[in-house]
């Protein structure tokens, strides 16, 4: 599985990872301000419209959970991953 950058901005990068015919999103954030947060939400939403299918992400800490919930991701289920760490799956769109 390979992460593919789909939005490369000075303050963040959004990646897709295709697995089991789903788009899993990843993000590297370099700088976070209210302006960046607004732009990020708009870009993320546009990417979802363009993709035409839901996004999924794995969450394993409270800070990430807060981040994805603020974007509009909804809790789907808890899973135990191959590294035996329990994570939550969230879905957007």
What are 22-60's pLDDT values in tens digits?
999 999 999 999 999 999 999 999 999 999 999 999 999
Task: Give the CATH number of domain 4-92; options: 3.40.630.30, 2.60.200.20, 3.10.28.10, 1.10.10.10.
Answer: 3.40.630.30
Residue 57 token pair = 């992400």
Q: Where are the alpha helices (DSSP H) in 1-93?
A: 34-51, 62-71
Which tokens in the block code for residue 32? 């976070």
pLDDT on residue 42 = 97
What would the pLDDT profile of 64-83 be if each residue is shown by its tens digit?
999 999 999 999 999 998 89
Q: Strand 55-59 relative to strand 74-80: parallel, antiparallel, unpaired?
A: unpaired
- Measured CA to CA, the distance from residue 25 to residue 55 in angstroms comes to 6
């Amino acid at each position: 599985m390979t992460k593919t950058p789909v939005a490369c901005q000075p303050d963040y990068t959004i990646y897709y990872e295709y697995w089991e015919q789903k788009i899993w999103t990843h993000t590297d954030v370099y700088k976070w301000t209210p302006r960046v947060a607004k732009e990020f939400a708009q870009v993320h939403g546009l990417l979802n419209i363009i993709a035409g299918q839901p996004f999924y992400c794995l969450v394993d800490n409270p800070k990430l959970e807060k981040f994805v919930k603020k974007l509009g991701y909804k809790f789907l289920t808890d899973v135990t991953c191959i590294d035996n760490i329990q994570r939550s799956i969230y879905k957007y769109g």
